Amino acid sequence: MIQPLSHLTSQREAFTLPDDIHYLNCATRAPYSKAVEAAGHGAIRRHTNPVGLRPDDFFSGAFIVRDLFSQLINNPDPERIALIPSVSYGMGVVARNLHRKAGLKPGQQIVLIGEEFPSDVYAWDRVSQELGLSITTIGMPDGFPKAPRWNERLLSAIDASTALVVVPPVHWMYGTRFDLEAIGQRAREVGALFVIDGTQAIGALPFDWQKIQPDTIICAAYKWLMGPYSLGLAYYGPFFDDGIPLEESWMNREGSNLFHRLTQYEPAYRPKAYRYNVGEHSHFIQMPMLEASLRQLLDWQPERIQAYCRELFLSALPELASKGYEIEPEAGRAHHLLSIWLPAGTDTLAVQHALLQQNVSVSARGQALRVAPHVYNEPRDVEALVNQLLIHAEP
Both 196 and 56 in one domain: the answer is: yes
Both 354 and 230 in one domain: the answer is: no
Is 30 among the domain residues? no
| Res 117: pLDDT | 97
Both 199 and 332 in one domain: the answer is: no
Q: What are phi and psi of 120, to 5 degrees?
A: -90, 0
**End of a domain among 264, 297, 330?**
297
| Res 393: pLDDT | 73
How far, in Å, CA of 260 to CA of 280, rounded?
A: 18
Domain containing residue 333: CATH number = 3.90.1150.10
- Widest CA span in the chain: 76
Both 283 and 348 in one domain: the answer is: no
Cα separations (Å) of 335 from 85, 99, 280, 329?
27, 38, 36, 11
What confidence tens digit (pLDDT) does each residue in 41-68 have? 999 999 999 999 999 999 999 999 999 9
Both 104 and 236 in one domain: the answer is: yes
Both 61 and 84 in one domain: the answer is: yes
Residue stretches of the chain with pLDDT short of 70: 1-5, 394-395
| Res 3: pLDDT | 46
Domain containing residue 281: CATH number = 3.40.640.10
Is 119 among the domain residues? yes
Both 321 and 244 in one domain: the answer is: no
**End of a domain among 234, 266, 297?**
297
Both 210 and 293 in one domain: the answer is: yes
**End of a domain among 274, 297, 320?**
297
What confidence tens digit (pLDDT) does each residue in 71-95 have? 999 999 999 999 999 999 999 999 9
How far, in Å, CA of 43 to CA of 326, rounded?
A: 46
| Res 343: pLDDT | 87
| Res 263: pLDDT | 95
Both 65 and 186 in one domain: the answer is: yes
Domain count, the chain: 2
Is 189 among the domain residues? yes
What confidence tens digit (pLDDT) does each residue in 140-189 have? 999 999 999 999 999 999 999 999 999 999 999 999 999 999 999 999 99
Is 34 among the domain residues? no
Is 32 among the domain residues? no
- The range of the structural domain enclosing residue 232 comes to 41-297
DSSP assignment of 79-126: GGEEEES-HHHHHHHHHHHGGGSTT--TT-EEEEETT--GGGTGGGHH
The per-residue pLDDT of the chain, averaged, comes to 96
Report the SS3 class of residue 33.
strand
Is 1 among the domain residues? no
Both 123 and 207 in one domain: the answer is: yes
Q: Is the pTM of this model over 0.85?
A: yes
DSSP assignment of 222-239: SSTT---TT-EEEEE-GG
Crossing angle of helices 302-312 and 379-392, rounded to 10°: 50
Is 206 among the domain residues? yes
Both 291 and 306 in one domain: the answer is: no
Is 361 among the domain residues? yes
Both 285 and 307 in one domain: the answer is: no
